[in-house]
Amino acid sequence: MADYLLSISIGPVQSLIDAGRRTRDLWCGSWLLSESAKAVALALHQYQSGCLIFPCPDNPDQELLPQVQFQEEANIANVIRALVTANSETDIQTLAEDASEAATERLSALCENARKALGILPIHEEIWKNQQQDILECFAAWVECREDYSAASQKLRTLLIARKNSRNFLPMGNTLPGIPKSSLDGANESVINVPRRERNKARYLTALRRLGGLDGEELDVLGVTKRLAGTAEQFTAFSRIAADSWLNTLEDECREQLRKQYKPLVDCKLATEVKGNGGIYQAFPYDAQLLFRCRLENALGSASTKDILPLLHHLQSALDTLESQPVPYGVLLKADGDHMAALLNKAETATQSQEISKVLHGFASEVRQVVQRHRGHAIYAGGDDVLAFLPLQQALGCAEELASKFSDTMRPVARDLGLTLEQFPTLSVGLAIGHIIQPMRRLRNRAIEAEKDAKGNDRPQPRNALAIHLGIRSGHELSWRCRWDDEASLSAMEQFIQAYRHEQCPSRIGYDLRAVADRLQWVSGETLPGIHQAELERMLDRANLPGGDGLKLAQALKETLLAQAQSTGISALSDQLIIARWLSSRTSADIGVKE
């Protein structure tokens, strides 16, 4: 008998989470990955109680049971580790295969539930069967753990990376000619066996509406499962989160009128209810997508029956009575812990690794409540990884609270393990700002780039930072980065946001400053050359506040602008100001957008 450290990685993350066009694809992809990882952990626990290291739940017999529907709790990360006792490596290999098979069976069961929900909608049976068995990739590595647990742990990590890099490269399953590819990632054939010319037939309408197939979308097995797992009401649409700050500014009577006009559209399956996330959106419990003019006009142009048109016109009339429109932008937050390898490598026993695991799980368990307080909805919270949707006005505050909570949570265990202050875990956070009709994959990619920017591995001062990337529709990309210990820059950003919010700063100042930077880009050398500073001071002296009364900028704001320019230069300051304007906005007029 010997002790073995065993690690199993579940994937691919690309198709399970990243591949998607809608908000729900992200939600369900994260949940499906967590459920698969949970099945692996349960199989290992049932083999040997108390063996789990990552995750390390207090009550595994209950916490690792499969869920029928999406629940608001911490996710299980896709890499599972355990310390198990076995007679030989052959037994460990068998255990790894059995645990991987448990993950495949769990995902197959969820796929079968989705298939039943399709009802009479015809599907390609052979393609479904082949794809269902080929969704997951499970990679395992193990090492015998003798006296030096830390050395075995580091060797295991290296072996698992090597195993993942040497894939099985199985041959593709049988494919049929002339079958469209999935709209989510283009990798697999669609399983929907209904020609597009027949998709408006009454017997197919209900199932296709649930799938989103009426607009020509094609879906593979995983895509169908993402669309039909759980209930639509559990998942908060990105459009609802983007509209939240605007909805909260409306009078109760106006909001009630919108609810009255929106409910019939839900009954007609043109919109969905929102019931999840602790019920924080009950003031307007709908997806809110038709509150945006671009979405409403599209619905009016594609209404399939005459009965629907009057309902849409009633909503349009209710919106026409309002003085403002919701800002059509929202935020996707993506965060990841820093210095985690240093922390994990410090563990000299399995017990110490389990303590780290429990602390990480404790943080992940609190993430959803933090995001809720900031009017957002967490998509994924597992270990040190976070993915969440947030309204513009709440995004910065949420990022700050998560970073602070992560540092406070990890500090005691890091101190106990003897890490230096520079090695204490911190949280790097990326905020991706995007338009509500932008493809979800593009927003997701922007969030990945923002998180990578926050990590800043190629910068003089990497990690422990915030990065915000703004993608303006039909425009350009802007970014701003600041370390969490740079209190002056964080304070300046908050001051700029408040100035925009209370109309104490001209809306065009960021763009005017960008024009100055472009005109004087031939001047190089120091951060703020004299000619740049002189031009900035002249522009600030001439700037008038909104309203046309000739009011000037407050002296405190001028000083902050000059201080930031001296620290980062006027080009970076212009980007910071434009991003601050977006983060301050509730209505489309706040960012100069006419929907």
What confidence score (pLDDT) does residue 120 get? 85
Q: What is the DSSP string of 82-120?
A: EEEEESSHHHHHHHHHHHHHHHHHHHHHHHHHHHHHTTT
d(CA 200, CA 303): 12
Dump pLDDT digits (tens) for 162-176: 999 887 776 666 567
Range of the domain at 490: 486-595
- Based on the domain organization, do 315 and 333 belong to the same domain? no
Question: Which amino acid would we find at residue 246?
Answer: W
| pLDDT band of 411, cuts 50, 70, 90 | very high
Assess whether pLDDT exceeds 60 at residue 214.
no
Measured from the Cβ of residue 297, the count of other Cβ atoms closer than 10 Å reads 14
Assess whether pLDDT exceeds 60 at residue 259.
yes
Residue 368 buriedness (CB in 10 A; 0-12 / 13-18 / 19+):
buried
- Based on the domain organization, do 299 and 386 belong to the same domain? no
Contact 450, 334 (CB under 8 A): yes
Dump pLDDT digits (tens) for 438-478: 888 899 999 999 999 999 999 999 999 999 999 998 778 99
Dump pLDDT digits (tens) for 547-572: 767 788 999 999 999 999 999 999 99
d(CA 49, CA 45): 5
Would the pTM count as exceeding 0.75? yes
Which residues, at least 6 apart from 499, have a Cβ–Cβ distance to it below 8 Å? 505, 554, 557, 580
What confidence score (pLDDT) does residue 584 get? 97
- Based on the domain organization, do 476 and 340 belong to the same domain? yes
- Based on the domain organization, do 456 and 502 belong to the same domain? no
What confidence score (pLDDT) does residue 171 get? 67
Q: Does 79 map to a domain?
A: yes
- Based on the domain organization, do 143 and 22 belong to the same domain? yes
CATH of the domain at 134: 3.30.70.2220
- Based on the domain organization, do 151 and 262 belong to the same domain? no
The β-bridge partners of 389 are 332, 377
What confidence score (pLDDT) does residue 102 get? 97
d(CA 436, CA 377): 15
Using the 3D structure, point to which of 294, 320, 346 is the last residue of a domain: 320
Using the 3D structure, point to which of 278, 299, 320 is the last residue of a domain: 320
Backbone angles phi, psi at 182, to 5 degrees: -60, 140
Using the 3D structure, point to which of 150, 168, 186 is the last residue of a domain: 168
Q: Does 388 map to a domain?
A: yes
- Based on the domain organization, do 391 and 467 belong to the same domain? yes
- CA neighbor of 512 nearest in space, from 562, 578, 563, 560: 578
More confident position, 195 or 321: 321
Which residues, at least 6 apart from 204, have a Cβ–Cβ distance to it below 8 Å? 120, 121, 194, 198
Q: Does 183 map to a domain?
A: no
- Based on the domain organization, do 155 and 13 belong to the same domain? yes
Q: How many domains does one find in the chain?
A: 4
Q: Does 237 map to a domain?
A: no
Q: Does 473 map to a domain?
A: yes
d(CA 115, CA 128): 9
- Based on the domain organization, do 291 and 254 belong to the same domain? yes
Per-residue DSSP letter, 592: T
- Based on the domain organization, do 340 and 381 belong to the same domain? yes
Backbone angles phi, psi at 522, to 5 degrees: -70, -15
What confidence score (pLDDT) does residue 215 get? 64
Contact 463, 428 (CB under 8 A): yes
Q: Tokens 């015998």 label which residue?
A: 144
- Based on the domain organization, do 455 and 479 belong to the same domain? yes
| pLDDT band of 15, cuts 50, 70, 90 | confident
CATH of the domain at 402: 3.30.70.270
Dump pLDDT digits (tens) for 91-135: 999 999 999 999 999 999 999 999 988 888 899 998 999 889 888
- Based on the domain organization, do 454 and 346 belong to the same domain? yes
